[in-house]
Amino acid sequence: MKRLPAEWEKQDSVIVVFPHVNSDWVNDLESAQAVFLRIISSISYSQKVILICDDIESVKSMLCYHDRISFTTISTNDTWVRDYGPISIYQEGKRELLDFRFNAWGGKFESALDDAVNEKLHKGYHFYPSKLTPVDMVLEGGSIESDGAGTLLSTKRCLLNPNRNPNLSQNEIEERLTELFGLERILWLENGYLEGDDTDAHIDTLARFVDEKTIAYVKCYDEIDSHYRELKEMERELKSFRRLNGEPYALVPLPLPKPIYKDERRLPATYANFLITNHTLLLPIYNDENDTKMVELFKELFPTREVIPINSVRLIEEGGSIHCSTMQVPAVNEC
Indicate which CATH number applies to the domain containing 57.
Answer: 3.75.10.10
Average pLDDT over residues 91-99: 98
Residue 249's SS3 state is coil
Average pLDDT over residues 220-241: 98
Q: Are 164 and 108 in contact (CB under 8 A)?
A: no
What is the pLDDT at residue 317? 97
- Whole-angstrom Cα distance, residue 194 to residue 216? 16
The boundaries of the domain holding residue 284 are 2-330
Of all helices (H) and strands (E), which one includes residue 234?
A: helix 228-240
Number of separate domains in the chain: 1
Question: 88 in a domain, yes or no?
Answer: yes
**Confidence class for position 54, pLDDT limits 50, 70, 90:** very high
Q: Is the peptide bond before 129 cis (omega within 30 degrees of 0)?
A: yes
- Residue 299's Cβ-count burial label (10 Å; 0-12, 13-18, 19+) is middle
- The mean pLDDT of the chain is 97
What is the pLDDT at residue 65? 87
Instruction: Indicate the DSSP class of residue 204.
Output: G
Question: 179 in a domain, yes or no?
Answer: yes
Average pLDDT over residues 132-155: 98
**Using a CB cutoff of 8 Å and minimum separation of 24, what contacts does 228-231 make?**
230/191, 230/192, 230/193, 231/191, 231/192, 231/256
Average pLDDT over residues 76-96: 98
Chain Cα centroid distance, residue 110:
20
Beta bridge partners, 218, equal 254
For the chain, how long is the longest CA-to-CA vector? 54
Question: 268 in a domain, yes or no?
Answer: yes
Task: Say whether pLDDT at 52 is over 90.
Answer: yes
111 to 32, 101, 107: CA distances (angstroms): 20, 10, 8
Instruction: Indicate the DSSP class of residue 271.
Output: T
Amino acid code (one letter) for 159: L
Question: 305 in a domain, yes or no?
Answer: yes
Of all helices (H) and strands (E), which one includes residue 326?
A: strand 326-330
Question: 7 in a domain, yes or no?
Answer: yes
Task: Say whether pLDDT at 211 is over 90.
Answer: yes
What is the pLDDT at residue 282? 98
Question: 253 in a domain, yes or no?
Answer: yes
What is the pLDDT at residue 17? 98
Question: 302 in a domain, yes or no?
Answer: yes
Average pLDDT over residues 7-29: 96
DSSP code string of 215-232: EEEEE---TTSTTHHHHH
Task: Say whether pLDDT at 335 is over 90.
Answer: no
What is the pLDDT at residue 255? 98
- Whole-angstrom Cα distance, residue 331 to residue 12? 4
- Residue 41's Cβ-count burial label (10 Å; 0-12, 13-18, 19+) is middle
Average pLDDT over residues 212-241: 98
Residues 6+ apart with CB under 8 A from 6: 146, 147, 148, 149, 209, 211, 212
Question: 335 in a domain, yes or no?
Answer: no
